[in-house]
Structure 1
Amino acid sequence: MTFAVHGLPVARGIAIGRAVLVVSSRIDVAHYFIKPEEIETEIDRVRTARNAVADELTKLQASVAQMGPNDAPHELAALLEVHQMLLQDEALSGGVKHWVSDRLYNAEWALTTQLEVIARQFDEMEDPYLRERKADLEQVVERMLHRMKGTAAVLAPSPPRRKRAAASHDQDDEDHDPTAGDGFDVPLVLIAHDLSPADMLQFKKSVFAGFVTDVGGRTSHTAIVARSMDIPAIVGARSASQLVRQDDWVIIDGEAGVMIVDPSPIILAEYGFKQRQGDLERGRLARLRHKPAVTLDGQRVELLANIEMPEDTAGAVKAGAVGVGLFRSEFLFMGRENSARQTRLPDEEEQYQAYTRAVEGMQGMPVTIRTIDVGADKPLDGKSASKQEHLNPALGLRAIRWSLADPAMFLTQLRAILRAAAHGEIHLLIPMLAHASEIRQTLSLIDFARAELDSRGAVYGPLKLGAMIEIPAAALTLKTFLKHFDFLSIGTNDLIQYTLAIDRADEAVAHLYDPAHPAVLKLVADTITECRRQGKGVSVCGEMAGDVAFTRLLLGLGLRSFSMHPSRILAVKQEVLRADTGKLEPWAKGVLDADDPAAALAG
């Protein structure tokens, strides 16, 4: 039956493919793809865990048998017998083999996926007793997962797409299969309750054509990384992961924020047409790649790229970026837990190599590196997030506050960035500053890092220093900031969040997240005006920079430097090429003065 699930659109385009569910578990489960030659190893890991749990249950059964009726009720022995039966059920082991062999899932992912498949079958049973056996199955699987913990295989690079296994699907599905009989690989779309930034990085170069999550907001970091992957994505879809089954055909409409499940042939044909139209539009925009971003009245505009990893520079150059306006260095620190659940941060040499690769990847163009910005929706690991559940992490120890609280870690990063600056032009960007005392501490540590390198005789280069304006307090005390920094970068994502008191990762209040709010626009406009008055550089690096609905307004306010996801550069460039800033300036002032700026923007 065809039905639709609505959420928040965060990355445009159409994706059509089979659903891959990342199933939640009460213990942490790794999700990654393996290499084809590792299939037997992963299956053997599951088999070993199953045998170990079976032995464990056998010992428990033997001990129960020796107990008296007052010590061990009859129900306990029966329960252990049920667990043994579930453990040996071919539906469990056979299904796991299928996910490992056909989809190249790692053992844990395959096990939780098959658990979800069987659990749904239990939910549909009419007999209440049988329905309740789902809990027993979950307990058995969790026993196996605990046994497998710490024995994960090495994370493999992106796998090849898997051919559709026709025998594993109902014949009815063939009628809905847009790739049936054409020999092409089947696109896969990812469905999850939530994905951490570290999860997103693991999937970044994988086979997925799109993804949907139950939670999240338009500017949550899951959404931001989705846009950097340039694939259709929806967040805040509430119950998507409960409504979709493994291998369902789904359509993701990233423009409308709608996921269509089990689409009819007519709907498939309609969205297939839209998908082809989108491809044609991208082809037209590609012709602008080498055209300078100059307005009709001769104003040159700088279009920069936001990146997460050094390897992203290839996409930035390909999109026509003239530099990196925001390198989110925290992604180098994420997803680094070992089997003992310990997080090993990258040392100075590893960071230096990463920053140097980014500089070299941009082929002489400038790279702006933001110092580590963790906290809120970007914990370094799962423990960081859970420990702060009762607090408001967006207002807690994050970004520069985190760095100043751990000077040794901060100095390591600063030394690595300074050394990389010997290889090309690097601008250093400090996030979330609000107090003059924080500015003084930061500048002092930068000087101390230089002194440490001098004492070692290490080679390092010059840095331009910049600060992010993402807290209203910073936007209201610009003169203090401009005394100490060469440039400012407006982080509109957090600036909107803090100005409007909206958690940008919370889908429940997403409708209140308003980039066109008069207060937000005034803070942005005042920052641009003051920087231009003092001859200091200013850019916008938040999501507003890549939103073509705001390009004309920002140009009219005097902005000449935009930093965005590489996938948005050509669309924004098209707007720039059509703009006349002389005509836009009075119009932009009218938008600022309007009671309803959003309506003025649209009109």
Structure 2
Amino acid sequence: MSFALHGVGVSRGIAIGNVHIIERNQLEIPEYNITPDDVEAEVKRFESAISSARQQLRAIRNHVPREVGSDIAAFIDTHLLMLEDVAITEEPGKLIRDMQCNAEWALRMQRDALVNVFEEMDDAYLRTRKDDVVHVINRIQRILLKHTPLRHEEPDSRLSGYIVLADDLTPADTVLLQYQGIVAFATEFGGPTSHTAILARSLGIPAIVGVHQARRYVREDEQLVIDGTRGVLLANPDKRTLNHYKRRQREEKRYLTDLKKIRLAPTVSQDGVTIDLQTNIELPRDFENVREVGASGVGLYRTEFMYMNRETPPDEEEHYETYASVIRILDGLPLTIRTLDLGADKQVDGGRQSGPVQSNPALGLRAIRLCLKEPALFRPQVRAIMRASALGPVRMMIPMLSNVHEMEQVLQMVTELKQELSDKRIPFDHDIAVGGMIEVPAAAVCADIFAKHLDFLSIGTNDLIQYTMAIDRVNEEVNYLYDPLHPAVLRLVHQTLQAGERAGIPVAMCGEMAGETEYTRLLLGLGLREFSVHPAVLLEVKQIVMHSRIRDLEKLARKALQACSGGDVLQLMQS
């Protein structure tokens, strides 16, 4: 019997194949006390499990093809690094000794403590890293419980042509599964901004998240259709339905082939307005795609990956070498580097926080607030960016500005570092552009003030929408209120664009809204002339621009700005 389940499509494309279901969360953890004489033997049993977990991961790592980019292999290395962290390797041993309890119980207590720390983090990307911690700890638990390894984690696993269904997947899972030949995946949990969703888009795997209770209805080896564009999972399709999706697969392939034909065409509307299309870079391997899609540059390079899963932050030289390698790949295309955008709860000592848990971390110490409070964290990155500017066209972008004082502090630091570099005769671009992200409503309202002092602005819609609507976009209880078409959001976007125009500085949009093609025409009408999007959608945005008349879209935008609700705006767009 055929049936359909719906979730959120996070990586486009259609896949057809049999399903492999990953079941791993139902570990029954025994809890019992041990005698003092057995304590050291229990600690040794735990340490042996840690050693076995390392051996398993190294075997998996050795089976990753050499042609895989270093950043992809690093996701597996991340789990190996976690197995070196004392929070996992030593703290459970202390619990065994202090409480005289079995290793499984001690490990679960430590897992719960670590998960609580991650859940308090204000950054959505960082919150998803708790899944990696749970995954590593579950691996150790299965060894302690003498369970056989999961099928997809066996080095010689054969899943070519399969679709994977799971509660959730870590990035390491996703990478391994792709190189084992899976054609798509669906998860019961997760969101479009999760680490795994971002990776799926980068790897080109059709994917759906948030398909609740799917494993209750789908059986192992059933045939599935995954429509990552529309967010549909179809089980046991009949012949007619199967032929329909096979036809759509062929059409999708032709569509993408045709899109490539406009790669080198100028991005100009039908009435002669030139639009600048740049890319957002999530992973270093994405830089290879910048020229393939004909992007004019990189409008957002996220640097948070450099800080993850390590005991100390990257120093100036590591920053510089990373940026230098990127500039060489881009070979003259402009690069906009966003400075560190992490939350206060994520410290560089392996994730342990030194301050009190915040009652509302989403409104706490993060991004530029954290950087200005911790200049030892911030200055090396800024200095490295400035040094890298001598190698090619580089801009520096500051996230989450909310008041002029923050901007003044950053600009003062830049002035001081320019003098330092000049005194030491270290080359840099003396005119390096410094811009700010508009992602806090206060910054959008005061965009005219920021525009007087900065060289460019970029609208980060993910946070701007979240803060405007006073909701957590990854909270399934309230994320239905996350509405890019809400008139308040559109007015803040329009106000920012007007501020840039009056000040004579460029304003881009680098948030997810810029890459959602259903909003492209409206954004053009509002006055957006610079888009920064994921490489996978850039050509689609380009095609829409080339088939649009800006003057007609400006009329649509004026009506949208006077609308009473997002629903009204949607009706205007569809009329």
202 and 141 in structure 1: CA distance in 2 versus 1, 3 angstrom threshold: closer
Note the aligned Cα RMSD (angstroms).
Answer: 3.9
Match of 1:213 among 187, 191, 197: 187
Displacement after TM superposition at 1:583 (Å): 2.1
DSSP-derived class of the 1:287 partner: helix
Instruction: Say yes or no: does 1:354 pair with 2:322.
Output: yes
Instruction: Say yes or no: does 1:257 pair with 2:263.
Output: no
Match of 2:392 among 424, 443, 457: 424
Match of 1:517 among 472, 486, 490: 486
Instruction: Say yes or no: does 1:602 pair with 2:574.
Output: yes
Offset from partner CA, 1:505-546 (integer Å, 9 cap, x none): 123323221110000000001111121122111011111111
Asked whether the equivalents of residues 9 and 209 of structure 2 are also in contact (C-alpha less than 8 Å), the reply is: yes
* Cα distance in 1 for residues equivalent to 2:271 and 2:554: 12
Offset from partner CA, 1:285-332 (integer Å, 9 cap, x none): 111111110111111110000002333111111011000000011122
* Cα distance in 2 for residues equivalent to 1:206 and 1:380: 33
Written as runs of structure 1 = structure 2, the 5 A alignment for 1:526-541 is 526-541=495-510
* Cα distance in 2 for residues equivalent to 1:389 and 1:9: 34
Instruction: Say yes or no: does 1:437 pair with 2:421.
Output: no
Displacement after TM superposition at 1:194 (Å): 5.6
Asked whether the equivalents of residues 448 and 500 of structure 2 are also in contact (C-alpha less than 8 Å), the reply is: no
DSSP-derived class of the 1:291 partner: coil
* Cα distance in 1 for residues equivalent to 2:489 and 2:445: 12
DSSP-derived class of the 1:212 partner: strand
DSSP-derived class of the 1:305 partner: strand
Q: Which amino acid aligns with 2:267?
A: A
Written as runs of structure 1 = structure 2, the 5 A alignment for 1:542-561 is 542-561=511-530
Displacement after TM superposition at 1:237 (Å): 2.4
Q: Which amino acid aligns with 2:572?
A: A
Asked whether the equivalents of residues 198 and 282 of structure 2 are also in contact (C-alpha less than 8 Å), the reply is: no
* Cα distance in 1 for residues equivalent to 2:551 and 2:522: 12
Q: Which amino acid aligns with 1:297?
A: D
Written as runs of structure 1 = structure 2, the 5 A alignment for 1:163-174 is none
Instruction: Say yes or no: does 1:392 pair with 2:360.
Output: yes
Provide structure 1 residue ranges, at least 5 long, that are not aligned to the other structure: 43-75, 77-107, 114-137, 149-155, 165-184, 338-342
Aligned to 2:12: 12
* Cα distance in 2 for residues equivalent to 1:421 and 1:267: 54
262 and 508 in structure 1: CA distance in 2 versus 1, 3 angstrom threshold: farther
* Cα distance in 2 for residues equivalent to 1:193 and 1:437: 42
Asked whether the equivalents of residues 219 and 493 of structure 1 are also in contact (C-alpha less than 8 Å), the reply is: no
DSSP-derived class of the 2:490 partner: helix
Asked whether the equivalents of residues 19 and 244 of structure 1 are also in contact (C-alpha less than 8 Å), the reply is: no
Asked whether the equivalents of residues 471 and 494 of structure 1 are also in contact (C-alpha less than 8 Å), the reply is: yes
Q: Which amino acid aligns with 2:212?
A: R
DSSP-derived class of the 2:426 partner: coil
* Cα distance in 2 for residues equivalent to 1:484 and 1:36: 52
Aligned to 2:205: 231
After superposing the two structures, state which structure 1 stretch, 385-394 or 404-413, moved more.
Answer: 385-394
Match of 1:325 among 289, 295, 299: 299
Q: Which amino acid aligns with 1:372?
A: L
Offset from partner CA, 1:155-197 (integer Å, 9 cap, x none): x9xx999656xxxxxxxxxxxxxxxxxxxx425546343647x
Q: Which amino acid aligns with 2:61?
A: I
Asked whether the equivalents of residues 389 and 428 of structure 2 are also in contact (C-alpha less than 8 Å), the reply is: yes
After superposing the two structures, state which structure 1 stretch, 450-459 or 396-405, moved more.
Answer: 450-459
After superposing the two structures, state which structure 1 stretch, 264-273 or 416-425, moved more.
Answer: 264-273
Instruction: Say yes or no: does 1:301 pair with 2:328.
Output: no
203 and 512 in structure 1: CA distance in 2 versus 1, 3 angstrom threshold: farther
Offset from partner CA, 1:37-74 (integer Å, 9 cap, x none): 99xxx9xxxxxxxxxxxxxxxxxxxxxxxxxxxxxxxx
268 and 391 in structure 1: CA distance in 2 versus 1, 3 angstrom threshold: farther
Aligned to 2:168: 193
Instruction: Say yes or no: does 1:466 pair with 2:435.
Output: yes
DSSP-derived class of the 1:326 partner: strand
Asked whether the equivalents of residues 274 and 529 of structure 2 are also in contact (C-alpha less than 8 Å), the reply is: yes
Aligned to 1:270: 244
Q: Which amino acid aligns with 1:507?
A: E
Q: TM-score, normalised by structure 1?
A: 0.70
Instruction: Say yes or no: does 1:567 pair with 2:536.
Output: yes
206 and 140 in structure 1: CA distance in 2 versus 1, 3 angstrom threshold: closer
DSSP-derived class of the 1:422 partner: coil
* Cα distance in 2 for residues equivalent to 1:415 and 1:584: 42
Provide structure 2 residue ranges, at least 5 long, that are not aligned to the other structure: 30-49, 66-75, 77-101, 103-133
Q: Which amino acid aligns with 2:259?
A: L
Asked whether the equivalents of residues 64 and 176 of structure 2 are also in contact (C-alpha less than 8 Å), the reply is: no
After superposing the two structures, state which structure 1 stretch, 382-391 or 508-517, moved more.
Answer: 382-391
Offset from partner CA, 1:466-488 (integer Å, 9 cap, x none): 10000101001112211220110
After superposing the two structures, state which structure 1 stretch, 389-398 or 19-28, moved more.
Answer: 19-28
After superposing the two structures, state which structure 1 stretch, 560-569 or 505-514, moved more.
Answer: 505-514
* Cα distance in 1 for residues equivalent to 2:470 and 2:438: 16
Q: Which amino acid aligns with 1:539?
A: A
Count of aligned pairs between the two proteins: 475
Aligned to 1:59: none
Asked whether the equivalents of residues 215 and 507 of structure 1 are also in contact (C-alpha less than 8 Å), the reply is: no
* Cα distance in 1 for residues equivalent to 2:349 and 2:213: 25
Q: TM-score, normalised by structure 2?
A: 0.73
After superposing the two structures, state which structure 1 stretch, 423-432 or 395-404, moved more.
Answer: 395-404
Written as runs of structure 1 = structure 2, the 5 A alignment for 1:110-129 is none
Asked whether the equivalents of residues 310 and 355 of structure 1 are also in contact (C-alpha less than 8 Å), the reply is: no
